[in-house]
């Protein structure tokens, strides 16, 4: 049953990102009344896009945790810390690239990932 839950999370992430782009974000971005942050609506659109897709990354992280609960490679704590680190590395990369570093969440995401890796390696 947990395999089904993990697969559903992966599927939901794919559908969420694809349909969100196609039916929500693209239509939303055609509006001319979006807030103008940092002088234009470019930043607003990029933040909305990366925040939308962060949900998918988080769901895939949960799917990976479920997978490692089913098929542990050793220490659950280390496995989960590594999964969290990967989720936050990907989140940091998305924030950094989508907003060209203007949304400072990437700093915190990379710090969280680094701390999880450091603790996981010393566990």
Q: Tokens in use for 75?
A: 């220490």
The pLDDT, as a whole number, for residue 54 is: 96
Task: Tally the domains of the chain.
Answer: 1
Distance in angstroms (rounded) separating the CA atoms of residues 25 and 86:
26
Averaged pLDDT of the chain: 94
**From the centroid of its chain, how far is CA 103?**
15
The pLDDT, as a whole number, for residue 73 is: 83
74 contacts 35 by C-beta, under 8 angstroms:
no
What are the tens digits of pLDDT across the range 102-114?
999 999 999 999 9
Q: 19-44 in b/e burial notation, b at 16+ Cβ within 10 A?
A: ebeeeebeeeeeeeebeeeeeebebb
Percent of residues, the chain, with pLDDT higher than 70: 100
The pLDDT, as a whole number, for residue 123 is: 77
DSSP classification of residue 30 = T
**Rounded mean pLDDT of 20-41?**
93
String of DSSP letters for 47-103: HHHHHHHHHHHHHHHHHHHHHHHHS--S-HHHHHHHHHHHHHHHHHHHHHHHTTT-S
This prediction's pTM: 0.90
The whole domain housing 68 covers: 1-121
What are the tens digits of pLDDT across the range 47-87?
999 999 999 999 999 999 999 999 988 888 899 999 999 99
């Amino acid at each position: 049953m947990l395999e089904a839950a993990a697969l559903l999370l992966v599927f939901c992430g794919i559908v969420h990102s694809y349909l969100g782009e196609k039916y929500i974000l693209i239509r939303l971005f055609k509006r001319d009344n979006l807030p103008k942050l940092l002088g234009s609506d470019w930043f607003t659109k990029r933040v909305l896009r990366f925040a939308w897709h962060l949900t998918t990354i988080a769901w895939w992280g949960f799917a990976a945790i479920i997978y490692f609960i089913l098929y542990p490679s050793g220490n659950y704590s280390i496995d989960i810390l590594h999964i969290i680190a990967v989720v936050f590395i990907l989140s940091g990369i998305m924030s950094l690239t989508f907003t060209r570093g203007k949304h400072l969440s990437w700093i915190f995401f990379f710090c969280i990932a680094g701390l999880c890796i450091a603790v996981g390696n010393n566990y």
